[in-house]
Amino acid sequence: MTRKRAYILTLVSTHIFLAALGWGQTVSLPEPPEVRARKHVVSLTLHALNENGRDAFAFNGGNVPPVIRASPGDVLKIAYVNELPALSPETCAVNPCMDMTNLHFHGLTVSPNSPQDDVIGMMAMPGQTLHYSVEIPRDHPPGLFWYHTHPHGESHRQVLDGMSGAIVIEGMERYVPEVARLRERVIVVRGRSIEHDPNAAALKRDVEIPARGCGGETEAVAEIFTVNGMVRPRIDIAPKERQFWRVVNASADRYLDLQLDGQKFEVVALDGMPLAYHDPKHPTRITDHLLLAPAGRLEAVVTGPSAGTHSALRSLCVDTGPDGDPNPEMVLADIVQPSPNQAGAQPPRRRRIHAIDDRPPLYKPIDVDSLKKGEPDLTVIFTEDKNGFYINGRKYSQDASPMTSARVGGYQHWRILNRTAELHPFHIHQVHFLAYAENGAPLVHPAWLDTVNVPYRGSVDVILDFTDPVIKGTSVFHCHLLNHEDKGMMAKIVFK
């Protein structure tokens, strides 16, 4: 065993041991390492490896995926080395596992062609290396994005094992100036399988999963959430202190209905899109809880609860449908007031702001009322049976022909129909869309997203923005329950 592998194995084993003991309740929220641009280039090397029977990213001698911080106009140069074994010890959605891997830069409006956000043609088998060079457009909106593996047939296993990390595109203060003065927290929430964990009962108690679910599901709870790799850490925030939280649901197949006990979220952005970008008059929105589908992101200002009160960041129970998986309520993290010694020794850390130039804020108000009145340009139908998952009756394969195309420079109205008895989150690469209606009724809060929840036996109507000239080539759209994507619920689209 190499020194690097031994070190990573020790870290993984220690983390699992501490989490099993419930020690995460006494540990402050860890901050992931960061990689920043030098001369407008963000350069890093990631390794994919399997330690202790689980796939993982290795970075800079550790096993914690870094937060990639970039500004519009920067280039991400990533060497991705596949050191996974030729014979995988794990089980995949479609066996046998080949231990192939690649990267997807979720939500970034960048090219779908190699060497950028290409999940179709770029694939590394064990022993191979991929070289990414991702150009962030100079007019790219600021916000929270994320990267994760996307090999069709094996994406669920790798993302469930934790092969993901956050991407921050700087500049949110141009839309909400207050955030430049606030302590920022990047919070990566992942699912962790406890299906075969001997400490499963203790872990469920640690995160306070109730005995009964909310959807009538009969299956046992198979996953809990971790926060920045920890089970139920502590988040320090003083009474009435305001912090800027950036939360990504990096789980492979679980929903987050986020609630901060006794407090409200002042939403600044969703799915990496500032609310003010399309609606300058309403740069924030207040809510007491928010449903994040797998891959969804929330950026919000939060206020510390009053002194002497107990508060927690939790996910509420989500009814995923009669055929869905259990998605119970659980505590994600405890909210605590820093002790005087902590506050004096370690003042709140604030991020350096990377201003790219002195341009005024960019806005893009859009009148889409005429598109809403017309019939859909495309109807996307999710179905499933005992043999797999389908879009419009077709199961995805690498050599499949494109299902549809879109001419760059305009907008399209799509209707996503879910004809199954479980929730499905719809996601399209490179493109944001306005989700404005559910089951034919206007949404109270229409929002620009890149991933939207589609209710079981229901529908969602969206207006997709295909106006970015950078986005040309072949890409994909799919269900972001990655087990479903692996089993066929994905299709190709050509941007031309």
- Residue 476 sits at φ, ψ, to 5 deg, of -140, 160
| Prediction pTM value | 0.92
User: b/e string for 274-294 if b means 16 or more Cβ within 10 A?
Assistant: bbbbbbeeebbbeeeebebbb
Q: C-alpha 8: how far from its chain's center?
A: 24
Give SS3 for 10. helix
Name the residue with higher pLDDT: 25 or 180.
180
Q: How far apart, in whole angstroms, are the C-alpha atoms of residue 104 and residue 112?
A: 10
CA distances, 68 to each of 50, 166, 308, 443, 459 (Å): 23, 6, 36, 33, 35
Supply the pLDDT for residue 14. Answer: 39
Residue 342's pLDDT is what?
58
Task: Give the SS3 label for residue 270.
Answer: strand
Given this model, what pLDDT does residue 360 score? 53
Q: What percent of the chain has pLDDT over 90?
A: 81
Residues 6+ apart with CB under 8 A from 101: 48, 80, 82, 84, 123, 124, 149, 151, 154, 158, 163
In the predicted structure, residue 49 carries a pLDDT above the cut 70: yes
How far is the C-alpha of 317 from the C-alpha of 485, rounded, in Å? 24
Q: What rounded mean pLDDT belongs to the chain?
A: 90
Q: Burial of 369 by CB count in 10 Å (0-12 exposed, 13-18 middle, 19+ buried)?
A: exposed
Digit-coded pLDDT (tens) for 207-260: 999 988 787 667 889 999 999 999 999 999 999 999 999 999 999 999 999 999
Q: Do 297 and 265 touch, CB atoms closer than 8 A?
A: no
Average pLDDT over residues 19-26: 43
Instruction: Check residue 26 and give its pLDDT.
Output: 62
Please calculate the CA angle 27-32-33 and round it to the nearest 5 degrees: 135
> How crowded is residue 312: how many other Cβ atoms within 10 Å of its Cβ?
20
Q: Are 398 and 492 in contact (CB under 8 A)?
A: no
pLDDT exceeds cutoff 90 at 488: yes
Q: What is the pLDDT of residue 213?
A: 79
* pLDDT for the residue numbered 5: 44
pLDDT tens digits, one per residue of 51-100: 888 999 999 999 999 999 999 999 999 999 999 999 888 888 888 899 99
DSSP reduced 3-state for 235: strand
Q: Report the C-alpha gap between 274 and 143 in whole angstroms.
A: 7
- Per-residue pLDDT, 444: 95
Tens-digit pLDDT profile for residues 404-440: 999 999 999 999 999 999 999 999 999 999 999 999 9
Give per-residue pLDDT as tens, 140-168.
999 999 999 999 999 999 999 999 999 99
